[in-house]
Structure 1
Amino acid sequence: MTEDILRQPIAIRRWIAATLLALTGCATTSPHATQPLPPGSLYVALGSSYAAGAGIGPIVPGTPKRCGQTVNNYPRLLAERLGLHLVDASCGGATTANILGPWSELPAQIAAVAPDTRLVTVTIGGNDVGYVRDLFQTMCRGARCPSALPVTDADWATLERNMRQIARDVQQRAPRAKLVFVDYLRIIPDGALCPAVALNPDQAALSREKFRRLASLTARVARDEGAMLLPAGKLSDAHHACSSEPWAQAFPAKAAPWHPTAAGHAAIADALAGKLAPR
C-alpha cells in the first residue's frame, strides 16, 4: 500500500496524508463521547472564574465566597438543561495547579471527580499565563502602573503539561466520563477597538496573542488526550466586547471586567447541550 501511495502525484499524496491524520485524530476520541447522558448523571465542573461566573448573578449559597460561583454560570445552566447532578468545583483565580492540588483551605478541584462521574467540563489556563491579570493592569492609569509580567515558553510548557495531567487524572478517576475542555470567550476583537476596550496597540496585540495561544493549546490537549472541545472563543467571534451583543465585557462593566457576561455563560451552556445531547 505504501508503494502505491508513493506512486501518486504529490497533491493526492498530501490529501491521503491529511485524511489519515484526521482519521487518526478521530480514533483517539473517548468511546464515551457519543454515549447519551442519562438524567441524574454526575457532572463535575472544574476551572477558573470563566467557569464560576464572576459577577454575573447571586453567589450560590454554601459555596466558598472567594470562588464567586454564581447561580447562572454555565455549569449550572447546563446541569439544569440536561437534568444532571452538578458538583461545581470551579473557583475564581484558579490555575491548573489548583485543579491538580489543594489551594489554601480548598481541596484540589480534581478530588471532586468520582468513579461514577459521567461528565467533566474544564475551563482553565488564563491565570497560569496572566491573561486576565494583564487585562486588569491596562485599567491602571498613571506613571506608577505596573507593566505586564513576562510569560516564558517554560510557563506555557508547564501549562500544557498540567492540562494534559488534568485530562489523564479525569480519565483515571472516572473512566466512563465525557471530558470537555471549554476554552475562553473572545473579549478583544481582531479589528478596530471601541471605547469599552481602551487598550493601546501593544496591549491589544499581547492580549490577542495570549488568547490565540490559549485556544490552540487547549485544542491540542483535547485532541491528543481523547477529550472533547467546545471552542467558545471561535463561537464568540461576533460577540466580543465591542459587538452589539457581547458575550464578554471589558471596562467599565456591570459585573466583573474582562469576563464573560450572563449571555456568554448561557451561550456556552446552549452549545454544550447541543454537543452532548444533539437532537
Structure 2
Amino acid sequence: MRFVLGAAVIALASAPLAAKNAAPAAGDRYVAMGSSFAAGPGVGPNTPGTPPRCGRGTLNYPNLLAKELGLDLVDATCSGATTHHVLGPWNEVPPQIESVDANTKLVTVTIGGNDIGFVGNIFAAACEQMATPDPRCQKWREVSEAEWQGDEDRMRRIVSAIRERAPKARVVFVDYITVLPAKGACAAVPITKERLKQSQAAAKRLAKITARAAKAEKAEVFRFSDLSRSHAPCSTEPWSNGMTAPQGDGIPIHPNRAGHVAAAKALAGFLRRN
C-alpha cells in the first residue's frame, strides 16, 4: 500500500517552536513513551526482552521512525498505560520517564486516552448493541471534569519531567490516530449515533488538551488525529482497525500497520522540516 503525504497534509501538524528546533541526527538517543497507540500491540512480534503485556510491536511507529532517521531508540511504551504510568511505576514496569537521560535528543509521547477511558468506552458502546453481551464487557464510563483536568495537568508534568532530565531534547506529543468514522457509525464500528457522537467529542477534547499542554510547556504537537481523519475504519484506506483486526495487523480500535507506517513517515518529515 502506498501513502502520499504531501506538504499540504504534513502542514496539519503544528510546532509551536518550529524556528528553534533542530532535526534529529543519525545516532541520536530517541525515547518513545506512551500507551498502546504508540506501543503497537499486534503490529509485528513483540520486541524481545520487553514486558509481554506492554505489547511493544517491532513495527510500531517509534521503531519505524528510528529506522527512517537512524536514531538510537529506547522504546518505553506500554499498552494500557496512563499518564500516571509515565510518571510512576506500574507493578513490574518502571516509570517510563526513567528512560529519559541527559543524552536524550528526542522524546515522543502518545498518552492520555486511557486516563479518560477513550477506547474502553468505544468497546462498551459496542457491547450495548449485542443481543447477548459478552461477560467481559464493561459499562460505559462517565468521565468527570476533574479527570479531564488531571489528565491535562499530568501531560504538562510529563514535559516538565523530561526537561529536568534532558534539557536539550525535543519533546513531541503525537496525538491519537482517528479511530472513529466521521460520517456516522459503520459496520466496522457498530455503535449508536449517540455513542458515536459522545466518543467523537471525547477524541476532539483529548486532542485539544494534548495541544494545550504542549503549548503551555513549549513542547511540540504532531496532529496525527488530523492527518488520519480520512483513514478511519470503513474508509478506502483505513489506518486503524474497527471492532475486529486481521491477524498480525494490530488490535481492534487501534492503528494497524498502515497507520504506524503513515505516522512514522509523516513524523519524520515533520521533524526534518521544523
Query: Is TM-score (shorter-chain normalized) higher than 0.5?
Result: yes
Kindly indicate whether residue 213 of structure 2 is the aligned counterpart of residue 225 of structure 1: no
- Partner amino acid, structure 2, of 1:70: G
Kindly indicate whether residue 166 of structure 2 is the aligned counterpart of residue 174 of structure 1: yes
Kindly indicate whether residue 140 of structure 2 is the aligned counterpart of residue 148 of structure 1: yes
Q: Which runs of 5+ in 1 are unaligned?
A: 1-24
Equivalent residue, structure 1, for 2:64? 77
Q: Which runs of 5+ in 2 are unaligned?
A: 1-13
Write the deviation string for residues 146-198 of structure 1: whole angstroms up to 9, x where unpaired: 43011100000100110000011111110000000000011112213321110
- Partner amino acid, structure 2, of 1:115: A
Query: Aligned partners of 2:41 and 2:152: how far apart in 1?
Result: 24
Number of matched residues? 253
Equivalent residue, structure 2, for 1:266? 261
Query: Aligned partners of 2:79 and 2:201: how far apart in 1?
Result: 22
Q: Report the structure number with the largest CA radius of gyration.
A: 1
Query: Aligned partners of 2:176 and 2:138: how far apart in 1?
Result: 25
2:31 partner SS = strand
- Partner amino acid, structure 2, of 1:114: D
Kindly indicate whether residue 54 of structure 2 is the aligned counterpart of residue 59 of structure 1: no
Write the deviation string for residues 235-260 of structure 1: whole angstroms up to 9, x where unpaired: 01110112010111111221310000
- Partner amino acid, structure 2, of 1:265: H
Equivalent residue, structure 2, for 1:89? 76
Task: Say which structure, 1 or 2, has more relative contact order (CA 8 Å, 6+ apart).
Answer: 2
Kindly indicate whether residue 99 of structure 2 is the aligned counterpart of residue 112 of structure 1: yes
Equivalent residue, structure 1, for 2:197? 205
- Partner amino acid, structure 1, of 2:80: G
Query: Aligned partners of 2:270 and 2:100: how far apart in 1?
Result: 21
Query: Aligned partners of 1:115 and 1:30: how far apart in 2?
Result: 22
Equivalent residue, structure 2, for 1:29? 17
- Partner amino acid, structure 2, of 1:163: M
Query: For the Cα contact (< 8 Å) 2:153–2:213, is it kept in 1?
Result: no
* TM-score normalised by L of structure 2: 0.88
CA RMSD across the alignment: 1.8
1:238 partner SS = helix
- Partner amino acid, structure 1, of 2:272: A
